[in-house]
Amino acid sequence: MSPRLIEVAERFKIRHALPAARWPTAEEAARARWFQRARIGRLDVAERTWVPAMVPWRASADGVVTPEVLDWYARFAEGQPGVLVVEATGIRDIASGPLLRIGDDRFLPGLRRLVDTVRERSGGRTRLFIHGRLAAAAGDDAWLRAPEAALRRRLLDAAADRPLVEAALTSRQLEALDYGYRERVWDTHLPWIRDLPRTLPPLFAEAASRARAAGFDGVELHYAHAYTMASFLSRLNTRDDGYGGPREQRVRLPLEVLRTTRQRLGADYVVGVRYLGDEVVAGGSRIEDAAWFGVRFAETGADYLSISKGGRFEDARQPKVGEAVYPYTGRSGYECMPTVISDSRGPFGRNVPLAATIRRAVRDAGHATPVVTSGGIFSFEQAEEILARGEADFVAAARQTLADPDWFRKIRLGDGRLVRRCEFTNYCEGLDQHHKQVTCKLWDRVDLDAPGVRLTADGKRRLSAPPWQPPDGSR
Ligand SMILES: Cc1cc2nc3c(=O)[nH]c(=O)nc-3n(C[C@H](O)[C@H](O)[C@H](O)COP(=O)(O)O)c2cc1C
Ligand code: SF4
């Protein structure tokens, strides 16, 4: 096909069928790469299966662990993945709705309960990392300020005068009108933005030492998606104070945070980095930047690199007045959580080449830092092939594990035919978008009357997948 035809074909949306999956016997699974032990830094991990961070919107309004949060992680732990990463957790001590927080010691008792729950339910098999998020700028909460929403409504109501509005406003003002006001990390005229290089390293390091005090096996620095540190890494970052512009300067603060966190925690504690292999927005960082960043993170002592893609604000859909803009609505959002309605490449494993390129660059530079890939992982064979080809060291599955938290265990036991397969149509992501407790459409209406089932606030959905026992009950 000519490049032009390929380009035209790429624009057509195709509904992809779920590919057939062959499942291994228990013996084959026992020999499989995915189920072999591995090391992350100095930590021994039982297998190379991985559940990346997913926010379930289940913390209390002030960010404390609730029984619903414990259920969410307990259910994943029952499948005994090698690594389970706890949702994006706020490192500043400021309100952020029902999302977990770790910005003060008062959060520690709840987080300790979370660690204990995962240990107990996984039989001590699953390693638990916590994923520290920071939205100091370019963040989510700034979009919801009420007075501004009222003003936006009034101005947007004057739709007939749009040309007049466009002529009167600067492009930043127009963006604030259409999308809500948002700070950028390059708004250095704002004192708190200018000060980020000074304030952030100790903030991350303190949150990380709290994570260790709570008993987590490691911390994951969230340098991905729409968060502040991803914005520092972005090619769009034009700060002129030595922390923007060329990539050596864009990576400076992320490296300073990594170094400070490492110094605070010592060499024996796992500190990983999640970041973007490609921002997928016009003018943003691409794989060449990401491969280069990966080498810098590895040489600065990151214990692993978990590669994601997209999820930026820049191409997000315009939100309704009073709603927050959601960074997973545009093209970059699609690439972060791809669905079966896709281009000709389909959603399955489409981010793997990014991880493979970064891994190669890191290995060529002489580092053994493990690389984690995620995005459209749906089967045992797919994961095995990724590992066999040396494209990643750990293979992570978010939505497939939400669809069936027992799937790793089922495969290990030779019961792969019983895996409840994710349909990759993003009902769960829609709930996330509207800040509703996240569940999966494949199980959230099943056996609502069963004893002990915890339901959503409206009583319509169960919050956890129904329990599973192996058919012969003995394993
Ligand atoms: C409901 C939901 C919440 C998510 N929350 C986070 C998050 O807090 N931090 C993060 O880095 N990624 C988050 N993700 C992205 C996933 O970790 C993962 O990268 C993405 O879903 C693609 O993997 P998958 O195809 O296996 O689902 C979330 C995904 C979903 C579906
Ligand atoms: S809701 Fe849909 S996309 Fe989400 S985990 Fe369930 S089947 Fe997969």
What tens digit of pLDDT does each residue of 273-297 get? 999 999 998 899 999 999 999 999 9
pLDDT of residue 472: 77
CA–CA distance, 366 with 349 (Å, rounded to integer):
26
The verdict on the CB of residue 337 being under 6 Å from ligand 2 is no
164 falls within a domain: yes
The verdict on the CB of residue 377 being under 6 Å from ligand 1 is yes
pLDDT of residue 86: 97
119 falls within a domain: yes
Which of ligand 2's atoms lies nearest the C-alpha of 402? 5
> Based on the domain organization, do 233 and 349 belong to the same domain?
yes
Give me the chain's average pLDDT, please: 89
Closest CA to 429 of 420, 441, 421: 441
Least confident segment among 53-62, 313-322, 325-334, 417-426: 313-322
Question: Distance, CA 54 to ligand 1 centroid (Å)?
Answer: 5
SS3 string, 271-285, reads EEEEEECCCCCCCCC
Beta bridge partners of 304: 272
Coil vs helix vs strand at 200: helix
CA–CA distance, 145 with 201 (Å, rounded to integer):
27
Question: Sorting pLDDT into bands at 50, 70 and 90, what band is 137?
Answer: very low
Q: Are 127 and 84 in contact (CB under 8 A)?
A: yes
Question: Distance, CA 76 to ligand 1 centroid (Å)?
Answer: 14
The verdict on the CB of residue 428 being under 6 Å from ligand 2 is yes
User: pLDDT at residue 410 above 90?
Assistant: yes
pLDDT of residue 312: 83
CA–CA distance, 333 with 326 (Å, rounded to integer):
9
Q: Which residues contact 75 (CB under 8 A, 6 or more apart)?
A: 405, 464, 465
Which of ligand 2's atoms lies nearest the C-alpha of 421? 7
Q: Are strands 43-45 and 127-133 parallel, antiparallel or unpaired?
A: unpaired
Question: How far from chain centre, in Å, is Cα 189?
Answer: 30
Q: Kindly report the protein residue whose alpha carbon is nearest to atom 6 of ligand 2.
A: 440
Residue 161 domain boundaries:
146-180
pLDDT of residue 96: 83
Mean of pLDDT values over 436-465: 96
pLDDT of residue 8: 46
Q: Are strands 341-342 and 14-15 parallel, antiparallel or unpaired?
A: antiparallel
Q: Which ligand is nearest to the CA of 99?
A: 1
Q: Kindly report the protein residue whose alpha carbon is nearest to atom 30 of ligand 1.
A: 54
301 falls within a domain: yes
Mean of pLDDT values over 216-225: 96
The verdict on the CB of residue 441 being under 6 Å from ligand 2 is yes
- Alpha carbon separation from 159 to 162, 171, 380 (Å, rounded): 5, 17, 52
**Overall number of domains in the chain:** 2
> Based on the domain organization, do 175 and 280 belong to the same domain?
no
Mutational pocket test of ligand 2: of 406, 420, 428, 437, the residue with most ligand atoms within 8 Å of the beta carbon: 428
Question: Sorting pLDDT into bands at 50, 70 and 90, what band is 12?
Answer: low
Residue ending a domain, choose from 180, 206, 233: 180
**Percentage with pLDDT > 90 across the chain:** 75
pLDDT of residue 146: 37
CA–CA distance, 268 with 162 (Å, rounded to integer):
58
459 falls within a domain: no
User: pLDDT at residue 141 above 70?
Assistant: no
pLDDT of residue 142: 39
88 falls within a domain: yes
Q: What is the pLDDT of residues 315-354, one digit of tens each?
A: 766 555 566 666 667 788 889 999 998 888 889 999 999 9
H-state helical runs in 310-405: 331-336, 352-364, 380-388, 399-403
In this structure, the number of other CB atoms found within 10 A of the CB of residue 255 comes to 18
Q: Which ligand is nearest to the CA of 426?
A: 2
17-21, 158-162, 443-447 — most confident range: 443-447
404 falls within a domain: yes
> Based on the domain organization, do 151 and 258 belong to the same domain?
no
pLDDT of residue 471: 86
> Based on the domain organization, do 277 and 166 belong to the same domain?
no
The verdict on the CB of residue 295 being under 6 Å from ligand 1 is no
253 falls within a domain: yes
The verdict on the CB of residue 427 being under 6 Å from ligand 2 is yes
> Based on the domain organization, do 236 and 358 belong to the same domain?
yes
**Beta-strand (E) ranges in 127-286?**
127-133, 218-223, 270-276
Q: Are strands 49-51 and 83-90 parallel, antiparallel or unpaired?
A: parallel
Q: Which residue has the higher pLDDT, 83 or 227?
A: 83
Question: Distance, CA 439 to ligand 2 centroid (Å)?
Answer: 8
Least confident segment among 96-100, 240-244, 425-429: 96-100
- Alpha carbon separation from 114 to 130, 293, 372, 405, 472 (Å, rounded): 11, 32, 24, 17, 30
Q: What is the pLDDT of residues 19-37, one digit of tens each?
A: 999 999 999 999 999 999 9
Closest CA to 232 of 258, 204, 261, 252: 252
For 123-126, which contacts have Cβ atoms below 8 Å and span 24 or more sequence positions? 123/80, 125/46, 125/80, 126/46, 126/76, 126/77, 126/80, 126/81, 126/82, 126/83, 126/84
CA–CA distance, 306 with 288 (Å, rounded to integer):
16
Q: Which residue has the higher pLDDT, 1 or 367?
A: 367
Q: Are 92 and 54 in contact (CB under 8 A)?
A: no
Tokens found for residue 355 = 């991880």
16 falls within a domain: no
Q: Which residue has the higher pLDDT, 12 or 79?
A: 79
Which of ligand 1's atoms lies nearest the C-alpha of 396? 26
Tokens found for residue 386 = 């990724």
Beta bridge partners of 101: 90
> Based on the domain organization, do 84 and 172 belong to the same domain?
no
* Rounded (10°) angle between helices 252-265 and 196-214: 30
Q: Which residues contact 341 (CB under 8 A, 6 or more apart)?
A: 13, 14, 15, 16, 425
Q: What is the pLDDT of residues 303-316, one digit of tens each?
A: 999 999 998 877 76
Q: What is the pLDDT of residues 344-370, one digit of tens each?
A: 888 999 999 999 999 999 999 999 999
Return the amino acid letter for 23. W
User: pLDDT at residue 468 above 80?
Assistant: yes
Question: Distance, CA 133 to ligand 1 centroid (Å)?
Answer: 13
> Based on the domain organization, do 72 and 152 belong to the same domain?
no
Question: Sorting pLDDT into bands at 50, 70 and 90, what band is 164?
Answer: low
CA–CA distance, 64 with 107 (Å, rounded to integer):
6
The verdict on the CB of residue 296 being under 6 Å from ligand 2 is no
List the CATH number of the domain containing 385.
3.20.20.70
Return the amino acid letter for 264. R
Q: Are 63 and 133 in contact (CB under 8 A)?
A: no
Q: Which residue has the higher pLDDT, 88 or 380?
A: 380
> Based on the domain organization, do 150 and 256 belong to the same domain?
no
> Based on the domain organization, do 153 and 228 belong to the same domain?
no
> Based on the domain organization, do 118 and 267 belong to the same domain?
yes
CA–CA distance, 204 with 200 (Å, rounded to integer):
6
> Based on the domain organization, do 296 and 429 belong to the same domain?
yes
Mutational pocket test of ligand 1: of 55, 85, 130, 350, the residue with most ligand atoms within 8 Å of the beta carbon: 55
> Based on the domain organization, do 407 and 350 belong to the same domain?
yes
Q: Which residue has the higher pLDDT, 368 or 433?
A: 368
Q: Which residue has the higher pLDDT, 65 or 11?
A: 65
